Amino acid sequence: MPIIDNAVYVGGQRIENPESLEQTFEYMRDKGGMAWIGLFRPTPEEIDKVAAEFSLHPLAIEDALTGHQRAKLERYGDILFAVLRPARYIDATETVEFGELHVFVGRDFVVTIRHADSPDLARVRRRLEQQPELLSLGPEAVLYAILDEVVDEYSPVAAGVQNDIDEIEDALFGAGEPNLSRRIYDLSREVIAFQRASEPLAVMLESLQRGAEKYRVDLELQRSLRDVLDHVLVVCQKLSGFRATLENALTVNATLVTQRLTETSLEQGEQVKKISGWAAILFGPTLVAGIYGMNFESMPELSWQFGYPLALALMAATSLTLYIVFRRKRWL
């Protein structure tokens, strides 16, 4: 079902579990509480119901429907609209998978729209329900907890990427992995995508801290957001280091590949020289043998007493001379 969880809170306590969006809106008005509606890949009709009830801006609704948005924080009147890009590391394929989460934060409501399995918002909800004093601070507390969860999930992803980089560095000076260049390139793209997901969070969190009046963020929440910001900056620093390391690895790998090709070419050249040298040495005896091995009656050398011995001596002298020359040139 697109509606994953749907609850109304008063004073940080969960008081109602509506079975439909209509009931949620009714309980909110009757109890004067805060609604938290969690949607997973909702239909346009469901989003339209939420948008009509909370007067969500059409541009934000369009972003939520189409997806594939960059990480950002925007304000439409009294409503904040945040796009987050959670990530998780897939051990089986050694790749990073990026999701997308849209969060609408109003005076008395929070609407989350997920387009992927990550992050685990059920865990965020359980954590807040166990801290009613934090949840009582309102929708901004929910936004803080979601940001905190997204950033916490970045840590194992960064660890997985670090492990991949270590493997690449080990393979650089090894036997020579055939697809190493492609692996470095693919990992570099993942790191860049990771940077695009995480770096805007620093700007978002700084805006939330500065805008106590503009964004109605409680002072205690500002302190909590500062802690999340510190974690984001650590992740961003790691990613900058990863990117520099991969750029250097790609350069080193290209240099090593060129060096191996050059060494192979030189080795092949030496082999060609040796083959050519032996061919030249054998050419002289072959020529003499070819000439004097023929039964030509008109060749005067055939009647000489030392004709054949001279021919053999000529072959030996030619071969020895060529051998000495090629040895001095180190072709043999």
Q: What is the pLDDT of residues 260-284, one digit of tens each?
A: 667 666 566 566 666 665 565 566 6
pLDDT for the residue 252? 84
Q: Name residue 36's beta-bridge partners.
A: 7, 110
In whole angstroms, give the CA distance from residue 80 to residue 299.
109
Beta bridge partners of 73: 82
Return the SS3 of 38.
strand
pLDDT band at 1 (very low <50, low <70, confident <90, very high): very low
Strand pairing of 72-76 and 34-40? unpaired
Q: How confident is the model at residue 95 (pLDDT cuts 50, 70, 90)?
A: very high
Residues 6+ apart with CB under 8 A from 197: 71, 85, 86, 87, 98
The answer on pLDDT for 153 being more than 70 is yes
| Residue 206 pLDDT exceeds 80 | yes
pLDDT value of residue 49:
87
- Quote the CA–CA distance of 18 and 201 in Å, as a whole number: 33
Mean pLDDT, rounded, of the chain: 82
Q: Do residues 202 and 232 touch, judged by C-beta distance below 8 A?
A: yes
Confidence check: pLDDT of 87 > 80: yes
Give the length of the chain: 332
Asked whether residue 114 carries a pLDDT value surpassing 70, the answer given is yes
Count of C-beta atoms within a 10 Å radius of residue 55: 11
Is the entire prediction scored with pTM above 0.85? no
Mean pLDDT, residues 295-299 taken together: 55
